[in-house]
A and B are shown apart, each in its own frame.
Chain A
Amino acid sequence: MALSGIQIYKLLPQTNCKECGFPTCLAFAMKLAAKQVELSACPYVSDASKAQLAESAAPPMRLVTLKSNGHEIKVGNEVVLFRHEKTFYNRPGIFIKVRDDEDIQAKVEPAEKFAVSYVGMDLTVDGFAVEATGDPDRFVAAIKTLRQISQRPLVLISSDAKVMAAGLAVLNGETPLICGADANNWEAMADLAKANTPGGPPPHSGGHGQAALVVKADSIEALADLTEKIKGKGVEDLVIDPATKNLSRLLTFSTQVRRLALKKNVRSVGFPIMVFANDSILAAQAVAKYGGFIVLDEFKPETVYPLLVLRQNIYTDPQKPIQVQPGLYEINNPKPESPVLVTTNFSITYFSVANEVESSGLPAWLLVTDAEGMSVLTAWAAGKFDAERIAKAVKTFNVADKVSKKRVVLPGHVAVLSGELEAELTEWEIKVGPREAVDLPAYYKQVLV
């Protein structure tokens, strides 16, 4: 359990020596409780107190890291239930499942090569899940085939410890996720997670085995029982699987687990959640509502693309909208007579406009105004995108020196600014463009040419 300031105070020397930088031990304890200082600032705290405080300071939700040659994915360690309270930190992993009796190459290759560009970022899947159908040799062969195509992190799926051991042996030196332990096989699976490399985990690894382990049960109580037992064997990198594809059950489970971990500090369920998704709606729910590792039955670009975009959106920091640098951008080699299109520096706004103009092949100057990273309407409503700011951008970026035809095009949503802008930019012609970026090429051809 997280300790209160008073509880922490009782573990401190209570000498008010001030060496930590605070006037009293109580003040320091309060800061510790708020997680605003490190315990190491106190030179006199006893080892016994240290151990007790370290336990209470451990993150309420375990960070689970999977590794393979050159790839790494971290999941967990979330600190809020709602992204507006702070932010969601570690994006859920998105994995594509393949059975060991399927055509591995046919399914894995397109997913491995898949990369889609979204607001200047290349989005890809995170890895693959290989499911055993029973025969250890077939499992091993499938993993080997997959490793010739992809080096991304893997999830191995089998409830048979012998089959799992054979598969794990192929992945020496990696940290895969093995799936998994249930009430019947948990001891054998825990041993495998711990001892994936000969000799078991390195000493003092703090419970980091060589594989993370999925624990499956159909109730929160049963899961908590199992994770406690497995932790008792020294395996702490766990992922919990509620064994359901039902939207309602998964939503309830995920919400309850997140609350127990964050609000009640129940360590036995403070782990990322495993979701096996057979359709795009379930996968989307898992992205928005607390999924940790999401394994998709199928690889379809038309599903994976929106899913990756949703993940990108939900996991942006609400305090810091993704921005682009304000400035005058050249699109399709504009000439002095090309038009000046005005927009804001919110990344999605910028890319919507830039992509449209770029793909139309029409040359233009894109004047990106500093609107504190907000979209056109939001920035306008907040007073961050007005005639004054636009005029300032025109001057700051020396637009007049670049163009022969002094003509700026405003986004249609802020048509209301055109009068004020005429007053600010007396020598310029002010035009009102379309509201949506998608209509820009048509507008350009009709009005600007």
Chain B
Amino acid sequence: MPIEIPKDKWPGSVKTITLGANSDGGTRTSVVTVGGEKALPFMHFEAETPYRPAVAIEIKDRKPDDWSTPLSEAWGDAMNDPAKWARAAEAAGADLILLTLSMTAVDGSPNTAENAVAAVKAVLGAVGLPLIVFGPGNAELDNALLVPVAEATKGERLVLGICEDKNYRTIVATAMANGHLVSARTAMDVNLAKQLNILISDMGLPLDRVLMDPTTGALGYGIEYGFSVMERLRMAALQGDAMTQLPMIVTIGAETWKTKEAKVGEGVPAAWGEWRERGINWETMTAITLLESGADIVVLRHPESVKRVKAAIADLMVAA
């Protein structure tokens, strides 16, 4: 019997945002465009999905002290040098790189602007991929590091983060002055996300230079909040609410690899299974769940997760 498939007709759409630039000061050899959705994720029978979700790999400006063993085994020596690490990430299939600046230098002294700028330039020199630069996550230090980085890379269309309610003025101002983008982070709440986007927009940064980071918990640690907040944000965007029509980025790798399940291999229950594969499953299952609730950029840490998530995205992008 003929069955008519109900199709959602949405009045709104997500903004299209391009990361990285290859002219006017930009030196990238590839750029990444995300967004533009006119329907819920991968509903190809309703509307074309113009751009596939992108996979970023997170690296750091120096070898991190607290990353899980499966990660240091996967990246090996490359972790000692951000340029080498970026090249390894490119080889592992990254569409773009997220460079997180450390809170401190190896000797425990606070990270400096000189070091941050040098690391960012080294990565930009090593690979042609677009770059996201995150501060250590302390509003004051983020400002102190990110402003010089933004000034030293004028025109590259970097994404600067973490841009949150405490420091958005500084980050947005330097992004505006230097031709960059920002990643606006709020704590798993639709209204907080909207509010920050309004504040950023009020400063005059066009919204096609803003990514929205609604944050998430990893699997087992609040993923259901991230999942539902992202579904609600995306539905609000499609319903026409301009302040939610931004592509979403989620730092899945960072959330995953700080969970005990991914981070710890000894003294855990046997029922947890094999450590490395468990960590990768933790990361890829979190990723697939959030891609299907609206993530446009997923930031991962393990190269094997990147491979599997990219394959899944390729499958999902083919109209069924």
Interface residues of A (CB under 8 A from B): 82-84, 114-118, 220-221, 224-225, 228, 246-253, 255-256, 259-260, 263-264, 266, 268-269, 280-281, 284-285, 287-289, 300-307, 309-310, 313-314, 316, 318, 348, 352, 355-356, 359, 375, 377-378, 381-382, 436, 438-439
Contact B220 A302 (CB under 8 A): no
Evaluate whether A288 and B220 lie within 8 angstroms (CB atoms) in the complex, with A248-B317, A256-B5 already known. no
Contact B189 A313 (CB under 8 A): no
Distance of A224 Cα from B224 Cα, bound (Å)? 32
A-B contact pairs, 24 of them (CB 8 A): A82-B235, A84-B228, A115-B271, A221-B1, A224-B1, A224-B3, A225-B1, A228-B1, A248-B319, A252-B45, A260-B3, A268-B1, A285-B289, A288-B227, A300-B274, A305-B272, A309-B219, A314-B224, A314-B289, A318-B228, A375-B217, A378-B189, A382-B189, A438-B264
Beta-carbon contacts under 8 Å, B216-264 to A: 217, 219-225, 227-228, 231-232, 235, 258-261, 263-264
Contact B315 A247 (CB under 8 A): yes
Contact A303 B281 (CB under 8 A): yes
Contact A260 B271 (CB under 8 A): no
Distance of A355 Cα from B221 Cα, bound (Å)? 13
* B282 on the A face (CB < 8 A): yes
* B192 on the A face (CB < 8 A): yes
B248 to chain A, nearest CB (A): 16
Contact A301 B272 (CB under 8 A): yes
Distance of A208 Cα from B267 Cα, bound (Å)? 48
Contact B6 A301 (CB under 8 A): no
Distance of A375 Cα from B272 Cα, bound (Å)? 24
Give the residue of A259, A307, A359, A377 whose beta carbon is less than 8 angstroms from that of B267. A359
A151 to chain B, nearest CB (A): 20
Contact A313 B281 (CB under 8 A): no
Is the interface on chain B under 10, 10 to 19, 20 to 34, or 35 or more residues? 35 or more
Interface residues of B (CB under 8 A from A): 1-6, 40, 42-45, 66, 187-189, 192, 217, 219-225, 227-228, 231-232, 235, 258-261, 263-264, 267, 269-275, 277-278, 281-282, 284-285, 288-289, 292-293, 308-309, 312, 315-320
A295 to chain B, nearest CB (A): 17
Contact A381 B308 (CB under 8 A): no
CB-based nearest A residue for B277: A302
A352 to chain B, nearest CB (A): 7
B221 to chain A, nearest CB (A): 6
Residue among A220, A252, A268, A300 with most chain B CB within 10 A: A252
Instruction: Report chain A residues within 8 Å CB of B217.
Output: 348, 375
Instruction: Report chain A residues within 8 Å CB of B269.
Output: 116-117
Give the residue of A250, A355, A378 whose beta carbon is less than 8 angstroms from that of B188. A378
Contact A306 B319 (CB under 8 A): no
Distance of A309 Cα from B260 Cα, bound (Å)? 14
Contact A438 B42 (CB under 8 A): no
Distance of A252 Cα from B45 Cα, bound (Å)? 8
Contact A378 B261 (CB under 8 A): no
Interface class of chain A by DSSP: helix
Give the residue of A83, A266, A285 whose beta carbon is less than 8 angstroms from that of B292. A285
Contact B292 A251 (CB under 8 A): yes
Contact A248 B219 (CB under 8 A): no
Residue among B2, B227, B259, B272 with most chain A CB within 10 A: B227
Distance of A304 Cα from B274 Cα, bound (Å)? 11
Contact B5 A313 (CB under 8 A): no
Contact A438 B223 (CB under 8 A): no
Instruction: Report chain A residues within 8 Å CB of B289.
Output: 284-285, 287-288, 310, 314
Give the residue of B220, B232, B316 whose beta carbon is less than 8 angstroms from that of A251. B316
Contact A260 B6 (CB under 8 A): yes
Give the residue of B6, B192, B318, B320 whose beta carbon is less than 8 angstroms from that of A381. B192
B312 to chain A, nearest CB (A): 5
Evaluate whether A301 and B271 lie within 8 angstroms (CB atoms) in the complex, with A221-B2, A306-B282 already known. yes
Evaluate whether A220 and B3 lie within 8 angstroms (CB atoms) in the complex, with A247-B316, A251-B292, A300-B273 already known. yes
Instruction: Report chain B residues within 8 Å CB of A114.
Output: 271
Distance of A259 Cα from B1 Cα, bound (Å)? 17
Distance of A97 Cα from B267 Cα, bound (Å)? 30
Contact A284 B44 (CB under 8 A): no
